[in-house]
Amino acid sequence: MENTDFIITSQQSWDTEIGSTIKNTAVEIARNNRVLYINTPLDHATWLRGEKNRIYRQRIDVIKKRVPNIRKIKDNFWVADCPFMVYSINKLPTSGLFDFFNKLNNKKIGRYILSVLHQLGFKNVVHLIDTDIYRSQYLKEIIRPAVSVYYCRDFVIGVDYWRKNGSRLEPLLAAKSDIVLANSTYFAERFKKYNPNTYPIETGVDLELYDASVKKECPGDMQSLPRPIIGYVGFVTGMRLDSDLLYDIARERPQYSFVFVGPEDELFAQHRLHTLKNVYFLGAKEVRELPDYIQHFNVCINPQLINDITIGNYPLKIDEYLAMGKPVVATSTHTMRDIFSEQVHLASGKAEYVPAIDRALTETDDAEKKEQRIRFAHSHSWTNSVNKIYRIIEAFQSGENKK
């Protein structure tokens, strides 16, 4: 697909410092098409709290007209910041009140989007909604895209913020969309009952960043750590990771160093893992630094909890681990069994995790297995992922998969 205009509305700000599926997807689409990424607007509650991070300051600067509201990021790619605030609605007591003010927010956002589309000369747009259940609920009726695509890449309605109204509104948004994309077969099955034009797509990995052929120096804060190193990269959160399992594994193997690279939530920050001498929390790092850490892990892990959020989620970090050629041990979720079972040691509970890590360590220097992992990860490039999206959209436009 080439020379098509795409608009993306996402719950994630473009200025979020971590990488993500939607940001990488947007960049890949912009290689051959024009892309307009709408940043989430500031709401009144966030403004009152005054969270002085970079995203907040950017929004305030736009509202106060200190900086332009449209930024050209690169060729074919623009980010538009909303020069206004919207109502804070999630704590409203009734669904009627929520829907009333949500429609007002959508109208405000929709009118702004139309003005930017006109300014940039975008026409016959493909609207990609990245799990933005509230702010994009009524945009199809307002901006009237040529194709509307709802992209579910996480089970957000399992999170408190989205549970009350999201559980009600996500099926409605999926049903009215022309196409639904899900990043796992597990999620796709859930959405097919709302929209028959639902398709699973696998996400991708940044192969330029995660390039195992580029030899990287061991990061300074890891150089003195005893080996072998069993490592994890990503948000260290009790919503997704099994903290007690990690504690049991680390105690069972005191001769291994367990290293976590990424910000911790409150549960982990106060967890008894911090009392173990062979466990190291190295904190948040820049995205470009992460391959340096992974390259110097002996084994990579993804010890997820099994819950509604994780069971069908596609863990992007697995592709990143494999792209660096690393042996991986991960919790046996639906997606891991469906896609990664031949490349990753799958485990559940301490009784399986400890011997799986032991086995993975014996493969650290296996050149043939390393090459197999890298080759598999390369089949999950962002180019391949976005090409699947193109084929689905083109089939819809040709009438092959109309509702």
* Residue 304 pLDDT class (50, 70, 90 cuts): very high
Query: Tens of pLDDT along 26-55?
Result: 999 999 999 999 999 999 888 888 767 888
Distance of alpha carbon 243 from alpha carbon 307, whole angstroms: 14
Q: Comparing C-alpha atoms, which of 354, 384, 342 is closest to residue 254?
A: 354
Confidence of residue 18 (pLDDT cuts 50, 70, 90): low
Tell me which H or E stretch contains 147. strand 147-152
* The pLDDT value given to residue 243: 95
At residue 136 the predicted structure's pLDDT band, cuts being 50, 70 and 90, is very high
Q: CA separation (Å) from 228 to 74, 240, 257?
A: 42, 25, 6
pLDDT (0 to 100) of residue 205: 87
What rounded mean pLDDT belongs to the chain? 93
Q: How confident is the model at residue 78 (pLDDT cuts 50, 70, 90)?
A: very high
Spatial separation of the C-alpha atoms in residues 174 and 198, rounded to whole Å: 9
Tell me the percentage of the chain whose pLDDT exceeds 90: 76
Share of the chain above pLDDT 70, in %: 98
DSSP 357-402: HHHHHTTTT-HHHHHHHHHHHHTTBHHHHHHHHHHHHHHHHTTTT-
Q: What is the DSSP string of 202-269?
A: ---B-TTTS-TTS--PPPGGGTTS-SSEEEEES-B-TTTB-HHHHHHHHHH-TTSEEEEES-B-HHHH
Which residues face 205 on adjacent strands? 381
Per-residue pLDDT of 213-238, as tens digits, reads 999 999 999 999 999 999 999 999 99
336: DSSP letter: I
- Lowest mean per-residue pLDDT among 93-102, 171-180, 195-204, 302-311: 302-311
